[in-house]
Amino acid sequence: MSAPRVGIIGIGQSEFRSRRDDSSYPDLVREAVAKAMTEAQLDFDDIEAIVYSLSPDAMVGIGNAERLGVDAVGGRGKRFLRINTGGATGISSVAAAYYHVAAGACDVVMTAGADKVGECGDSQTVLNKIWDPQYERPLPLGTITMLAMSGIRYAEKYGMTQEDMAQVVVKNRKHASLNPHAHLRKEVTVDEVMASRMISWPIKLMDCCPQSSGGGAMILASERYIKENRLDAVWITGVGHCSETYYIGDRMGNGYMADHADAFALKRSFERAYKMAGITDPRKQVDVAELYAPFSNTEYHAIEAAGLAGLGEAVAQVNEGRFSIGGEIPVNPSGGVLCTNAIAVTAMIRVAEVALQVSGRAGGHQVKGAKLGIASGNGGDHQFFGTMVVEA
Amino acid sequence: MALNRKTAVIGSAIFAPVTRQDRALEEILYELAQAALKDAGLTIDDIDGIVVASNDQFDGRAISIMAASGSVGGVDRDILSTPSAGEHAFVMGVLRIASGQYDTHLIVSWSPTEASSLSEAQRLGADPYFHRALPLDELSSNALQAAALAVAAPQAHQLAPRIAARNRANGAHAYPDAAKAPAGEAEIASSEAIRWPVRKGMVSEPITGAVALVIASEDFVDKHGIENPAWVRGMGWATEAGFLGDRELSKAPALEEAARRAYEEAGISDPRQSLDLVELTDVTPYQELLSYEALGLSKPEAWEADLGSGIFDRTGKVPINPSGGIVTLNPVFCTGLIRIAEAAGQVRGKAGRHQIKGARTALAHAASGFAMMYQTVLVLGAEREGVQA
Amino acid sequence: MELLKRQEDWKITYTHALGEVASWFFVQIRDNAKIFGRRCGDTGRVLVPPRAFSDQTLEPTTEWVEVGPGGKIETFTIVYEPFNNLPEPPYAFGYVLLDGADTALGGYFRGVDLADPAAAAEKLKIGTRVVTKFADKDKRKGDMLDFWFELA
């Protein structure tokens, strides 16, 4: 069966900050929803179903916090469900909304959510509880240490240095300085990154994403609805998901399927999205990419998993400026996850930013002439990966 | 509007109660998924995608679905998860197959009892702004709803013990090894009021349980010549508002909406005529009564006569909860998906001891959250299309 | 205006069943200071820590295989930042492929001076031989912290 076309007709995102003491959790969802509804020029009656985007409950400190968000998204009496694939939640939610329309269940669907990571005093404690209680949780694992260990393996395999990691930060902070929604917007130098304090070798403070508060919302519609109502839209043409083993120690040793250095399932997920979108040569066909990379080192394997560079080639190409705004395929022109991370919606913002780029509405960080963009999200312990292709 | 492609349930496995202590959660899920695949006559290689659902606070794991990636077969495979409700995983799977991008899905949900208190875990679902300080767990919310219903329909108090007695008798027949002993109306009516008006004999203690279903597209069913599929004929789901104070608790508008959509898709105008059985969420018998009205099975003024007539008994025309329902087996988070698995099992002719002879069309009603906040209705049929007569 | 805040914490205790396989593994560590893996019946790979099934093949594992105590480092990190409810920094931990195993086992690295991050990282680099050390018998509880790795 060929895939029905599904369009993006509304986008709303907060200006992300460390704390939003002026807004409760549902107020923050509402803020993004209101923006998306205004942009799409719709009434709540037009929204037929809701996909609620929310990663671990413990991060907002409310069990099944999506229930508290029902009114914020105008969900009463409507079809409503929540998606969670950890850090990939946002893109998985857009995908779930896509399936609502592609299934023929509805014409107009909204996905929305928010996070207040700044209010969780123990985010690495919460994130330690993602591991199995038998074997891996007793270790002092968190998302930072988990991805530091990926960086160690990547460096060993391909020769990445800490200065190379800093180059990603310099690039993304520069991009973020052009994006009013980004949380960390101050430009930095390689020296400043290198001088920032060591958190988890080889990751230093400035190699890390911030803890952000803010919301995101997107409205998707069927091709028929978009044409009948003469709406502006960009189109989701490829969707993919793929997963890896739960156990980090299984991504090394002998005979493994995925190397913890790389992003095996992200690559597989992109292969699925590309196949669906008919993309055969991403290096030539992709104009812009928003790739989920919460720590500087992980942008390298994400670029390679997306097929934008060969294995081990991303480092040199970032250094050459190939993935900067003005370069051949800008990666994370918004500043990316490295500059803004409100976990529940982070991966949704990747899709939203790509949609803005291919519609020519990205503002100060617009990639000139972008017509086809890709987005990704990573969740769990580098385990669940979602990908999407968006076209003008 | 009808979905773009038809989907059927072709396999299932219900593990409830899980009493053995020699399995970790991952091992239970592995055996469960393998059992469901075996029931479908498939292997994991036949599966395109997986949707799972669990509750972090019940499991004591953040992003608790991570446990499923290896155990149910997610490595190098596509997984989504719907932590809002177990039944939402089924909805998501059906939508994904209808989109044309998948031919098969494995749907899995589980509910352990490893927390010191599930009630405490549920209370974390009350917002910290206004309601966390109240003793608001699911049972309390159900009792509040029961009290509200009994003001609108006072006969509910008298009928609730009768319903619980029927479901417990059904449970003792369906699952004699697992169900507690059946109890009569009088015994239930005089049992301790644990959250007035809900009495001890009307509800079941939480147990550990897990359920998996295999679903497939019509193309897959045809190509592989799969026998006795249970077709998804209609599917509706909807939510109530988040705050109990914003709701008219004696009504179930979200269930009415979910049922309206499911019946419309299935071409059902008179559910009592069309349905051969119903598996509904008897989280307490008061919620069962509320569902009768919303599902178009019986109006409040007819409750007493209908219950007296035996139409909803196991041997009646429209048996309700031949499995014994939730008062028999209560793995809290996955009771909704179990209703779907039970109804599909009936249509497939594989329900076991409690098989309703000749069941062709079954309704599954799932509900989750405080006072049945999330409502889901599935109509499953032996016929792929045509009006359900 | 005055903006109020409220502090909440979650107090729920979970008693997780470890299952037969993990139980046997931890009893061997506690009672005999030995580490065992399970062999995948399909591929012959030895999974450490032991799993009842391989998530790559979905086949049950079939036999116990003693592994270690020597091994080599597969990855590591050294933590210098304090996190609530995690140990006081600095500390080093990571994954080791024990001799005879095909997957890596997590644990702390001890006995390396962590004061200078770069120097410590050089000592712990991938491929470095290590040996498993166990706590004294009366201190072992049957968990992942009963053992650690030291440079060989």
pLDDT tens digits along B323-341: 999 999 999 999 999 999 9
Q: Give the pLDDT of residue B20.
A: 85
Inside any domain, residue B52: yes
Specify the length of chain C in residues: 152
A contact test, residue of B6, B72, B78, B337 with most A CBs within 10 A: B78
Count structural domains, chain B.
1
Question: Measuring CA to CA, which residue among C42, C40, C59, C58 is closest to residue C50?
Answer: C40
A119, A267 in Cβ contact below 8 A?
no
- How confident is residue B389, by pLDDT bands cut at 50, 70 and 90? very low
User: Can you give the C-alpha Rg of chain C in angstroms?
Assistant: 19
C104-147 pLDDT per residue, tens: 999 999 999 999 999 999 999 999 999 999 999 999 999 999 99
B88-112 pLDDT per residue, tens: 999 999 999 999 999 999 999 999 9
Q: Give the pLDDT of residue A143.
A: 92
* Alpha-carbon distances of B376 from B105, B291, B367, B372, rounded to whole Å: 19, 11, 6, 10
Inside any domain, residue A257: no
Contact B75/C52, CB-based, under 8 Å?
Answer: no
Distance, CA of B361 to CA of B350 (rounded, Å): 14
User: Which ranges of chain A have pLDDT less than 70?
Assistant: 1-2, 121
Contact B128/C6, CB-based, under 8 Å?
Answer: yes
Label residue B18 exposed, middle or buried (CB < 10 Å: 0-12, 13-18, 19+). Answer: buried
Contact residues on chain B for A56, CB-CB shorter than 8 A? 56, 62-63
Q: Give the pLDDT of residue A1.
A: 57
Inside any domain, residue A166: no
A263-318 pLDDT per residue, tens: 999 999 999 999 999 999 999 999 999 999 999 999 999 999 999 999 999 999 99
Distance, CA of A145 to CA of A199 (rounded, Å): 9
pLDDT(B297) > 80: yes
Inside any domain, residue A115: yes
Q: Angle A159-C80-A177 (CA atoms, 0-180°, nearest 5)?
A: 65
Contact B24/C10, CB-based, under 8 Å?
Answer: no
The shares of helix, strand and coil residues in chain C, as percent rounded to the nearest 5, are: 20, 35, 50
C49-72 pLDDT per residue, tens: 999 999 999 999 999 999 999 999
Name residue A201's amino acid.
W
Is residue C18 less than 8 Å (CB to CB) from chain B? yes
Is residue C53 less than 8 Å (CB to CB) from chain B? yes
Distance from CA of A240 to the nearest CA of C (A): 20
Distance, CA of C152 to CA of C133 (rounded, Å): 10
List all residues of chain A from 85 to 104 with a beta carbon under 8 Å from chain B. 85-86, 92, 95-96, 98-100, 102-104
> Residue B264 gets which letter from DSSP?
H
What is the domain extent for residue A41? Answer: 6-121+211-228
Is residue A138 less than 8 Å (CB to CB) from chain C? yes
Inside any domain, residue A344: no
C71, C129 in Cβ contact below 8 A?
yes
Average pLDDT over residues B208-234: 97
| Three-state secondary structure call for residue B234 | strand
The set of residues, in sequence order, having a beta carbon less than 8 Å from that of C111 and lying 6+ positions away, is C150, C151
**Partner-chain residue, chosen from A125, A201, A252, that has the shortest CB–CB distance to C117:** A201
Contact B22/C10, CB-based, under 8 Å?
Answer: no
Q: In this complex, which chains have at least 3 CB pairs below 8 Å with chain B?
A: A, C
Contact B120/C11, CB-based, under 8 Å?
Answer: yes
The CATH number linked to B106 is 3.40.47.10
Q: How many CB atoms are closer than 10 A to CB B287?
A: 25
Pure H helices in chain A: 25-40, 57-60, 89-102, 123-128, 143-158, 162-176, 190-195, 223-228, 264-277, 282-285, 296-305, 314-319, 336-339, 343-358
Question: Measuring CA to CA, which residue among A14, A22, A76 is closest to residue A44?
Answer: A76
Contact B98/A66, CB-based, under 8 Å?
Answer: no
Q: In this complex, which chains have at least 3 CB pairs below 8 Å with chain C?
A: A, B
Chain centroid to Cα A25, Å, comes to 20
B318, B362 in Cβ contact below 8 A?
no
Contact A149/C94, CB-based, under 8 Å?
Answer: yes
The set of residues, in sequence order, having a beta carbon less than 8 Å from that of B83 and lying 6+ positions away, is A54, A57, A64, A82, A84, B53, B54, B55, B56, B64, B65
List all residues of chain B from 283 to 342 with a beta carbon under 8 Å from chain A. none
* Alpha-carbon distances of C18 from A64, A182, B28, rounded to whole Å: 26, 43, 11
Distance, CA of A158 to CA of A164 (rounded, Å): 11
What is the number of CB-based contacts under 8 A between chain A and chain B?
Answer: 219
Locate the chain B residue with the closest alpha carbon to A26: B127
What is the domain extent for residue B53? Answer: 7-117+206-223
Name residue A192's amino acid.
E
Locate the chain A residue with the closest alpha carbon to B51: A83
pLDDT(B388) > 60: no
Is residue B2 less than 8 Å (CB to CB) from chain A? yes
Inside any domain, residue B355: no
Inside any domain, residue A57: yes
> In the predicted model, what is the mean pLDDT of chain B?
96
Phi, psi of A297 (to 5 degrees): -60, -30
Name residue C85's amino acid.
N
Q: Give the pLDDT of residue B387.
A: 62
- How many CA atoms within 13 Å lie on the side-chain side of A9? 30
Distance, CA of C30 to CA of C25 (rounded, Å): 9
Strands A49-53 and A108-116, by their bridges, are parallel
Buried-exposed string C52-72: b where 16+ CB fall within 10 A, e elsewhere: bbbbbebebbeebbbbbbebb
- How confident is residue B231, by pLDDT bands cut at 50, 70 and 90? very high
Name residue B68's amino acid.
A
Distance from CA of A383 to the nearest CA of B (A): 8
Count structural domains, chain A.
1
Beta bridge partners of A214: A115
Contact A265/B76, CB-based, under 8 Å?
Answer: yes
Distance, CA of A161 to CA of A56 (rounded, Å): 33
Is residue B70 less than 8 Å (CB to CB) from chain A? yes
Distance, CA of B27 to CA of B35 (rounded, Å): 12
Give the helix/strand (H/E) hosting C6. none
Label residue A194 exposed, middle or buried (CB < 10 Å: 0-12, 13-18, 19+). Answer: middle
Q: Give the pLDDT of residue A122.
A: 76
| DSSP line for A100-133 | HHHTTS-SEEEEEEEEEGGG-TTHHHHHHTTS-T
Q: Angle A100-A105-A109 (CA atoms, 0-180°, nearest 5)?
A: 50
Distance, CA of B145 to CA of C46 (rounded, Å): 54
Contact B117/C12, CB-based, under 8 Å?
Answer: yes
Contact residues on chain B for A106, CB-CB shorter than 8 A? 1
Question: Measuring CA to CA, which residue among B153, B328, B178 is closest to residue B250?
Answer: B153
Contact A139/C107, CB-based, under 8 Å?
Answer: yes
The CATH number linked to A70 is 3.40.47.10
Place of tokens 């989920």: A292
Name residue A146's amino acid.
M
- How confident is residue B1, by pLDDT bands cut at 50, 70 and 90? low
| DSSP line for B316-362 | SSS-B-TT-HHHH---GGGHHHHHHHHHHHHHTT--GGGPPTT--EE
Distance, CA of A340 to CA of A185 (rounded, Å): 9
The shares of helix, strand and coil residues in chain B, as percent rounded to the nearest 5, are: 40, 20, 40
Distance, CA of B181 to CA of B183 (rounded, Å): 6
Distance, CA of B123 to CA of B131 (rounded, Å): 9
B6-59 pLDDT per residue, tens: 999 999 999 999 988 899 999 999 999 999 999 999 999 999 999 999 999 999
Place of tokens 């009088």: B186
Distance from CA of A200 to the nearest CA of B (A): 22
* Alpha-carbon distances of B328 from A172, B137, B140, B168, B203, rounded to whole Å: 57, 20, 19, 6, 8
C126, C73 in Cβ contact below 8 A?
yes
Name residue C90's amino acid.
P
A340, A353 in Cβ contact below 8 A?
no
C35, C59 in Cβ contact below 8 A?
no
| DSSP line for B166-222 | HHHHHHHHH-TTTSPPP--HHHHHTS-EEETTEEGGGS-----EEEEEEEEEHHHHH
Question: Measuring CA to CA, which residue among B339, B367, B172, B193 is closest to residue B283?
Answer: B367
Q: Give the pLDDT of residue B166.
A: 97
Q: Angle B178-B375-A30 (CA atoms, 0-180°, nearest 5)?
A: 135
Inside any domain, residue B149: no
